[in-house]
Amino acid sequence: MKTYLLKIILIVLITTFIIDDIIPQVIYNSKIRSEYSNQVEPSKILLHKSEIANPTLPLAIGILSIFYFVNPIILYEDEKVSAGLTKELSLGFGNFGEYRIGFEYSLIFRSYQKSHIRLSVKYDNLIDNIEPSNMLQETSVLSIGGGYFTDFEGHGFFPEISYGYSIRNDKLLFYPHLKVRYTVMTEKSKSNITDVSFGIVIGFANPFIDLKIRQKH
């Protein structure tokens, strides 16, 4: 059990580093390259390429590409540790889609109760001071929420908290994050579940609604 816990702690630390350091750096480098290319003649850009290159950029892009499609999840249930893959789709409302409804499906790598489904509501606390805009903006986010869980043999309810670095506007959301949940099962015969997951949430916001942000800002 100690080995499993050490692995979970290691994964959490690596994911936190990716969210806090690599992802903001990727976005920052993209901005630098864009501004640099607009100011410098194309024939001179190659001479200064080493000044703006980042050796972690290819690794970060590769990791983000993997997490875009599949999000790892680790569960502790009935004194056993299991792993799997999970994916969440989100629908948000508000200027930044910060009031969200989520649907998540998880496939657990074991011989029983492999499929988990969660329906949730959550609020994204945008840590950075950004203004409503049609342009995509980035900000650190602390999310809190809760919802309903089923594995088709039992049911439960859970609170959750997540932290990440989102790219968003009033219509789209890309949210690399680390999430922790504790599910309380309603059946006495079923064990409660603690899970940790990390990856990218794909979200849409304000369908069929025009917030007229362009006119206001």
Question: Is the alpha carbon torsion for 69, 71, 77, 81 positive or negative?
Answer: positive
In three-state secondary structure terms, 151 is coil
Q: What are phi and psi of 183, to 5 degrees?
A: -100, 125
Between strands 71-77 and 193-205, the pairing is antiparallel
Are the C-beta atoms of 64 and 23 separated by less than 8 Å? yes
pLDDT recorded at residue 200: 87
Structure confidence by residue, pLDDT tens digits, 67-106 = 566 799 999 999 999 999 999 999 999 988 999 999 999 9
Q: pLDDT below 50 — which residues of the chain?
A: 2, 4-19, 22, 26, 28, 30, 32-34, 36-37, 43-53, 215, 217
pLDDT recorded at residue 66: 61
The boundaries of the domain holding residue 137 are 2-216
The closest of 164, 12, 17, 152 to 76, measured between CA atoms, is 12
pLDDT recorded at residue 202: 84
pLDDT recorded at residue 132: 82
Angle of CA points 166, 171, 172, to nearest 5°: 35
pLDDT recorded at residue 211: 77
In three-state secondary structure terms, 216 is helix
Number of domains making up the chain:
1
pLDDT recorded at residue 208: 78
pLDDT recorded at residue 61: 55
The closest of 65, 68, 82, 161 to 116, measured between CA atoms, is 82
